[in-house]
Structure formats: C-alpha cells, structure tokens
C-alpha cells in the first residue's frame, strides 16, 4: 500500500504496481482478488438507502461497481494524473459512456479525422442514432478544428498518437481551442499510454483508453476506461445539464455541485454505466491489473524494437515510405520529441510499392507476426487496414485516416528484434 501521508510522490513504476491496491483485509491476499459476485450485502436499510442516493460510496451491484474493478479504476487514474476513473467493457463502451454525459440529441462534437477506423464508424453511424453529430477536422491544421466548432459543439475528440497512422497530435494547441470554445477536450491515449504521455498535463479534460491494448498488454482481455481530469467547469453554464442541473433520479442532486472535481466520473457511473450497462467483468479487471504492473518494462521494449524495425524498413527496396514519429525524418518527429521523448510507441504504418495486392501478400506470408485486428500485445501483430479494420470506409476516407490501399500497420511486440526483422524480410522476399 502506498503511504499517502508522506510528501513523496511515488514514481510511475511504483504506481503501476501499487496504486489503488492493498492486501485483502479478510485473507491477507497480496494480489487483488477477483470479486466474482453480482451484488453485495448491505449493513442495514439506512446503509442501502445512502448507497442508492449517492450519499455514501460503496458496492451495490457489479454493473455499477466492483472491488476488483475499483482498484483498476484508481490505478489508471493515478497513472494519468486524473481525479477518478470509470472502467467499461471496451474502449468503444468508454466513448459511449463519456459522450452520453455530454451530449443531447442534436448536439455536435469535433473529432480528428485521423482515428482508429472503429471510432470513425462509431462516430459516423452509431452516434447518429442518439442524435449526436460529428464534424471532422484535420489534426495537421488546427484552424480546421476552429472552423468546425459551432454553437452546438459539446466536445473536441482526438487521439494522442493516432491509430494507425502514427500522427502525433498537438494537444497543447488543441486544448487552447477547446478552452476558447468552453468545451472539454477528450483524448484517447491508448497508443501512447500514460508511461509515454499524460495528456492531462497539456490540457486534456477527459482521457479515454482501450484497456485491451497496451495497458492489459497480453491480448487476453477487453476493457475500456474513462479518466476524469477534474479540470472542466461544468457549472459555467447549462450546456451540460447532466452535470449542472438537478438529477431527478437522485432527488435533485447536482453532480458538479456535489462531487466537484470528480463529478464527471461519478456522472459516467451513476447516469451512464448504470443505465447503458457496459460493465467490465471482474476477471478482465484482474487480468488488466496484472498487465499494468509490467507496463513500464514492456513499453520500453516495445519502443526500442519499433524504432529498430522502422529504421530497417526505411532502407528496404520494396518499401515506399515509413510513418513512424520516432524516425528523425518523420513529419511528426518534432512533436514526438516534445510530447513523447521516452519513445514514440510501437504502432506504425508503412507503404508497399506494390500497393493493395502487395499488402495482402505480405500479411499472408508472415510467420512470427500474427495477422489479426488488435494492437498492444506482447506479440508482434500485422494487419492490412484497407482490407480489414477500415474496409467499411470509402476510398477517400481510408486515405484521409491513414489507411490507404498500400498501407500496412505493425504493432511491434517484445520478441527479439532480430527475429521480428527476419520475419518481415522473408515475407517481403
């Protein structure tokens, strides 16, 4: 357990192992137990009433909270420098929960067009069923974000490092735009992880994670996270009624007035997760917690391997280009040095001179790499986005999102780098 009474702030690796956790009070178990239960016994009627009325924090039902998951939520919030976290069943679920607390039918938000293909689909199609409308902007042109903001805009959304294109977003500049428009900045920090980047320090108000990727890190569990930075003034006006106006479900409680700098996290739990229901299973929480313990060790290895592979690909005769911000000649190298000096992550793309057909052939010939739709695993992963993750998009949308016909995406694992390179070499041959 971390001693919070001392002035010393624990380091990242210490937080990754200890934040939120303590020995089990009943058994003394050192590892956080899997509390595989649906519900919890109340002390008495008054205790139950105070829990349901948000007057006391505690466990009611695993759909809205679980002791194993609570450790995960506190740990990720601590690593990101936020005030509180809320875990969900997936990264997509985290986005739905977060936007549910911000948006009303007819509202809009501005998003970077350089995003994970699943998020582009979610924003373009699924969100429209709620009456939430997206306006797209170019992360390489901050003026496009400013032009996309309207009186109906309720948020700005971006990825710190974009999937799959390796675009490094200028979060400080985007935060200034968000503050000028008086809307929260939401940053998906999945690819960078808080080990490489903590966007809250540059002005992000909400951080989203797919825990499935690097935080879990072993390709064995799906999960999502919303982290509340505690920085946004939800009471400035009535644009965010779920946080600034009395909630009839809780006898008139005003979320921001009652819960202050962690009001958004409470709203996500009590007003979104409770009713929409995408709860994270306690077993997945346990697996992801275990993965986070080795996060700093794994990310160092991921970054070292990725840089070596990107350098090797850059000199290969069959490769037209490599987009990895860790390379000195990359267009995002300067931003990478500013925001992620410890490493530019392990996910990047490159283009094959043979185009679409060459991409299909490459992913069919690898042996060490796994051809699948995931990133952030200990294993090296490969995919041809145009034929898989981004295939629902138009050709124009594919190119705009960094998933053109010649593009191959790699998620470099923690194997020996020489073996990774050798596999690509034989597949390209």
Q: 264 CB contacts (<8 Å, ≥6 apart)?
A: 101, 206, 226, 228, 230, 232, 234, 243, 255
Is position 1 within any domain? Answer: no
- 277 and 306 share one domain: no
> Same domain, yes or no, for 248 and 392?
no
Burial of 252 (0-12, 13-18, 19+ CB in 10 A): exposed
Question: Do residue 220 and residue 148 come from a single domain?
Answer: yes
pLDDT at 399: 78
Q: Are the C-beta atoms of 132 and 154 separated by less than 8 Å?
A: no
In tens digits, the chain (429 residues) has pLDDT values of 445 555 788 999 999 999 999 999 999 999 999 999 999 999 999 999 999 999 999 999 999 999 999 999 999 999 999 999 999 999 999 999 999 999 999 999 999 999 988 899 999 999 999 999 999 999 999 999 999 999 999 999 999 999 877 899 999 999 999 999 999 999 999 999 999 999 999 999 999 999 999 999 999 999 999 999 999 999 999 999 999 999 999 999 999 999 999 999 999 999 999 999 999 999 999 999 999 999 999 999 999 999 999 999 999 999 999 999 999 999 999 999 999 999 999 999 999 998 888 999 999 999 999 999 999 999 999 999 888 766 777 778 777 767 788 899 999 999 999 999 999 999 999
Q: Residue 343 sits in a domain of what CATH number?
A: 3.90.1150.10
The predicted pLDDT at position 2 comes to 46
How do the residues of the chain divide into helix, strand and coil, expressed in percent and rounded to 5?
A: 40, 15, 45
CA distance 269 to 393: 32
4 in a structural domain: no
pLDDT tens digits, one per residue of 28-45: 999 999 999 999 999 999
On whether both 375 and 232 belong to a single domain, the answer is no
Domain of 192? 12-291
- Report helix, strand or coil for 392: coil
**What angle do the packed helices 91-100 and 117-124 form, to 10 degrees?**
30
DSSP string, 106-129: T-EEEEESSS-HHHHHHHHTGGGG
Q: Are the CB atoms for 383 and 372 separated by under 8 Å?
A: yes
Query: What is the distance in angstroms between the CA of the first residue and the CA of the last residue of the chain?
Result: 53
Looking at residue 276, which CATH number applies to its domain?
3.40.640.10
Residue 390 has a pLDDT of 67
Of 242, 261, 291, which closes a domain? 291
Instruction: Please choose, from the candidates 338, 71, 80, the residue with its C-alpha nearest in 3D space to the C-alpha of residue 186.
Output: 80
- Those residues whose C-beta lies under 8 Å from the C-beta of residue 9, and which sit 6 or more positions away, are none
What are the residue ranges of helices labelled H in 83-224?
91-100, 117-124, 142-148, 171-181, 193-196
What per-residue confidence (pLDDT) applies to 36? 97
Tell me what pLDDT residue 1 has: 42
Which residue among 274, 291, 308 closes a domain?
291
Q: Are residues 322 and 405 in the same domain?
A: yes
Q: Are 225 and 105 in contact (CB under 8 A)?
A: no
Angle between helix 417-428 and 355-365 (nearest 10): 130
- Within-domain flag for 7: no
- State the pLDDT at residue 355: 86
Shared domain for 93 and 219, answered yes or no, is yes
- CB count within 10 Å of CB 25 equals 7
> What is the helix (H) or strand (E) element at residue 369, kind and residue range?
none
- Orientation angle between helical segments 295-314 and 282-293, nearest 10 degrees: 70
C-alpha torsion sign, points 10, 15, 18, 21: positive
Q: Which of 291, 326, 351 is the last residue of a domain?
A: 291
Domain membership of residue 359 (yes or no) is yes
**Are 93 and 277 spatial neighbours (Cβ–Cβ below 8 Å)?**
no
- Per the structure, the count of domains in the chain is 2
pTM attached to this predicted model: 0.95
* Residue 286 contacts residue 34 (beta carbons within 8 Å): yes
At residue 204, the 3 state secondary structure works out as coil
Pairing type for strands 206-210 and 224-228 reads antiparallel
Query: 172, 211, 205: which is closest to 81 by C-alpha?
Result: 205
Bridge-based pairing of strands 224-228 and 84-88 is: antiparallel
Establish if 242 belongs to a structural domain. yes
Is residue 2 assigned to a domain? no
**303 and 287 together in one domain:** no
Contact assessment for residue 182 and residue 152, using Cβ atoms and an 8 Å cutoff: no
What are the Cα distances from residue 208, in Å, to 32, 62, 86, 347?
23, 21, 10, 18
Residue 423 lies in a domain: yes
Torsion 304-306-309-310 (CA) sign:
negative
Same domain, 160 and 300: no
Which tens digits make up the pLDDT trace of 152-208?
999 999 999 998 778 999 999 999 999 999 999 999 999 999 999 999 999 999 999
**Same-domain status, 113 and 239:** yes
Residues 84 and 18 in one domain: yes
Please check whether residues 348 and 371 belong to one and the same domain: yes
137 located within any domain: yes
338/387 same-domain check = yes
């Amino acid at each position: 357990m971390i001693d919070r009474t001392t002035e010393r702030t624990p380091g990242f690796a210490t937080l990754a192992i200890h934040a939120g956790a303590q020995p089990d009070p009943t058994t003394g178990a050192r590892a956080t137990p899997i509390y595989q239960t649906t519900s919890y016994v109340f002390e008495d009627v008054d205790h139950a009433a105070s829990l349901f009325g948000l007057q006391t924090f505690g466990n009611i039902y695993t759909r809205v909270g679980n002791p194993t998951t609570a450790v995960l939520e506190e740990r990720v919030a601590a690593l990101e420098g936020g005030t509180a976290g809320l875990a969900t069943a997936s990264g997509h679920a985290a986005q739905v929960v977060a936007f549910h607390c911000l948006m009303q039918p007819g509202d809009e938000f501005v998003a970077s067009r350089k995003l994970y293909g699943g998020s582009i689909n979610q924003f373009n199609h699924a969100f429209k069923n709620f009456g939430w409308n997206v306006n797209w902007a170019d992360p390489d042109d901050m003026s496009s974000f400013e032009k996309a903001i309207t009186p109906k805009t309720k948020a700005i959304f971006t990825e710190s490092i974009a999937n799959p294109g390796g675009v490094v977003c200028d979060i400080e500049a985007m935060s200034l735009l968000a503050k000028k428009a008086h809307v929260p900045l939401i940053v998906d920090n999945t690819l960078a992880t808080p080990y490489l980047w903590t966007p809250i320090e540059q002005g992000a108000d909400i951080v989203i994670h797919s825990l499935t990727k690097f935080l879990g890190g072993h390709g064995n569990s799906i999960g999502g996270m919303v982290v509340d930075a505690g920085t946004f003034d939800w009471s400035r006006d009535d644009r965010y009624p779920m946080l600034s106006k009395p909630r009839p479900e809780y006898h008139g409680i005003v979320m921001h007035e009652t819960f202050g700098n962690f009001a958004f996290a409470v709203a996500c739990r009590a007003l979104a997760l409770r009713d929409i229901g995408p709860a994270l299973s306690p077993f997945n929480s346990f697996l992801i917690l275990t993965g986070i313990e080795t996060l700093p060790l794994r990310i160092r290895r991921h970054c070292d391997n990725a840089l070596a592979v990107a350098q090797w690909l850059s000199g290969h005769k069959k490769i037209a280009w490599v987009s990895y911000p860790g390379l000195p000649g990359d267009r995002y190298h300067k931003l990478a040095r500013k925001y992620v000096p410890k490493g530019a992550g392990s996910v990047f793309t490159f283009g094959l001179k043979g185009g679409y057909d060459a991409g299909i052939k490459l992913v069919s010939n690898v042996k060490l790499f796994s051809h699948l739709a995931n990133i952030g695993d200990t294993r090296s992963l490969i995919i041809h986005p145009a034929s898989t993750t981004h295939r629902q998009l138009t050709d124009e949308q594919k190119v705009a999102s960094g998933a053109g016909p010649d593009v191959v995406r790699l998620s470099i694992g923690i194997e020996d780098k020489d073996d990774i390179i050798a596999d690509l070499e034989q597949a390209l041959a």
